[in-house]
């Protein structure tokens, strides 16, 4: 490996990816592992953690899984301390855990709104707060917040999610502002519409062979004319986790096939 490419290596680094038993977090953790990092992840219960560990093993990755509710500050502090003792100080944090509740605003209870904010915004604050002291101690650190196009745009039925992801964008910028001098870079990745098992029903062909209406909508709004794949997020994640991005801070990298740049086709 030449000297320049060594900037992208994560050898010797410990990466904590929250909620990474499957999906986007799992794909990002795989990429960080391929770049040399030791992977640590959490999920909300032991069953999900066991499934995650098994999925990583299938990929040839020895991942360290912990049961932890990322909205519980005491539990997060205890988990980060345990990771430090058993694996090492966390160098890279990916705040990936999140939920969405698609409910029209007038039908949404304040309790449901608060739940989304708690998982999608309060939890990244809690986990970052727990990890930053170790990063300061080591003299470097990388935090990647999984934001969303809803950090920039609104859409029907996602008032809580958009509010949380907009807040996460500003939390990203504020962590940069407070801890950039400590050589901590905090950036975000904003995925576009990504092919996952959860979105599979929206991409199924109709009985007459036509696209699902939502699939048609996404394709028409995306200059790339396709849904993203979880693999599309891997390169950006490795870049933001590596020394190659040491002067990139407070930035949200939208991996959306160009949706945010595009007004859409004329009807």
- Candidates 66, 161, 193, 254; catalytic one: 161
Cα angle 105, 99, 240 (rounded to 5 degrees) comes to: 120
**CA 147 to CA 202: how far, in whole Å?**
22
Q: Tokens 């990504």 — which residue?
A: 194
Is residue 22 part of the annotated active site? The answer reads no
CB 90 within 8 A of CB 62: no
Secondary structure in 3-state letters for the chain: CCCCHHHHCCCCCEEEEECCCCHHHHHHHHHHHHCCCEEEEEECCHHHHHHHHHHHHHCCCCCEEEECCCCCHHHHHHHHHHHHHHCCCCCEEEECCCCCCCCCHHHCCHHHHHHHHHHHHHHHHHHHHHHHHHHHHHCCEEEEEECCHHHCCCCCCCHHHHHHHHHHHHHHHHHHHHHHHHCEEEEEEEECCECCHHHHHHHCCCCCCCCCHHHHHHHHHCCCCCCECHHHHHHHHHHHHCHHHCCCCCCEEEECCCHHHCCCCCC
Return the active site residues: 161
């Amino acid at each position: 490996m030449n000297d320049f490419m060594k900037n992208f290596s994560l050898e010797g680094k410990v990466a904590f990816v929250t909620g990474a038993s499957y999906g986007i977090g799992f794909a990002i953790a795989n990429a960080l592992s391929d770049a040399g990092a030791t992977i640590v992840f959490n999920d909300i219960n032991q069953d999900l953690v066991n499934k995650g560990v098994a999925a990583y093993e299938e990929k040839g990755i020895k991942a360290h899984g912990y049961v932890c509710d990322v909205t519980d500050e005491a539990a997060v502090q205890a988990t980060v301390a345990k990771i430090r003792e058993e694996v090492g100080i966390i160098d890279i944090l990916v705040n990936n855990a999140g939920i969405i509740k698609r409910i029209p605003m007038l039908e949404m209870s304040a309790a449901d709104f608060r739940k989304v904010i708690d998982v999608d915004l309060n939890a990244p604050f809690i986990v970052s707060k727990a990890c930053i002291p170790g990063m300061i101690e080591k003299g470097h650190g990388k935090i990647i917040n999984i934001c969303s196009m809803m950090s920039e745009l609104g859409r029907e039925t996602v008032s809580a999610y958009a509010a949380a992801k907009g807040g996460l964008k500003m939390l990203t910028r504020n962590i940069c502002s407070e801890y950039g001098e400590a050589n901590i870079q905090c950036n975000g990745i904003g995925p576009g519409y990504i092919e996952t098992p959860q979105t599979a029903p929206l991409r199924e062909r109709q009985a007459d062979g036509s696209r699902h209406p939502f699939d048609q909508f996404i394709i028409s709004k995306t200059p790339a004319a396709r849904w993203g794949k979880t693999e599309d997020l891997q390169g950006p994640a490795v870049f933001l986790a590596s020394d190659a991005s040491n002067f990139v801070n407070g930035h949200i990298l939208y991996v959306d096939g160009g949706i945010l740049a595009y007004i859409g086709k004329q009807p």
